[in-house]
Amino acid sequence: MSNSKGKIAISALIAGVIGYGIGILTAPKSGKETRDDVKIAAQNYSKKVEQRLKNYHNELTQLLAEAKITGMNYRGKAKTELEKLLDVAVEARHRINLAINALQKGDKIDVDLEEAITEADESIKKLKNFVEKDN
């Protein structure tokens, strides 16, 4: 998933939720019904974001394993560069995992979600290039 596609997808989800919220707030319903509708919309949005984050996490996990196997026999500068790439990817996966856990618990997401997605996108691209180049 490219960085711009990830941002567009998250932005579209946010815009959809905002539009839905405005529609609910202007509808002729009781306060309780409106609050229930907003709560359901927020839960649906949270589930969609969680699924996208899980996709990032799974893809990073798979690519990390492939890159580690591919680079087992590397030495010198190539090994050093691979280790740096793996460190960044592991950190990106960790930040995505923190966001997933926060969503599942209903807690505030303490990581900068946009930055975590950008890091994940960049790591995925670099790991894919590494694995494809070596195969």
Q: Dump pLDDT digits (tens) for 47-83.
A: 888 898 999 999 999 999 999 888 888 889 888 988 9
The chain-wide mean pLDDT, for the chain, equals 84
Backbone dihedral angles phi then psi of residue 29, each to the nearest 5 degrees = -125, 165
Sign of the dihedral through C-alpha 116, 118, 120, 123: negative
pLDDT per residue rounded down to tens, the chain (135 residues): 556 777 777 887 788 878 877 776 676 767 788 778 778 887 888 888 889 899 999 999 999 999 988 888 888 988 898 899 999 999 999 999 998 888 888 888 777 888 888 899 999 999 888 878 766
Tell whether pTM > 0.85: no
- Residue listed under structure tokens 């932005």: 11
Q: What are the structure tokens assigned to 108, written together?
A: 């505030």
Identify whether the C-beta of residue 24 lies closer than 8 Å to the C-beta of residue 41.
yes
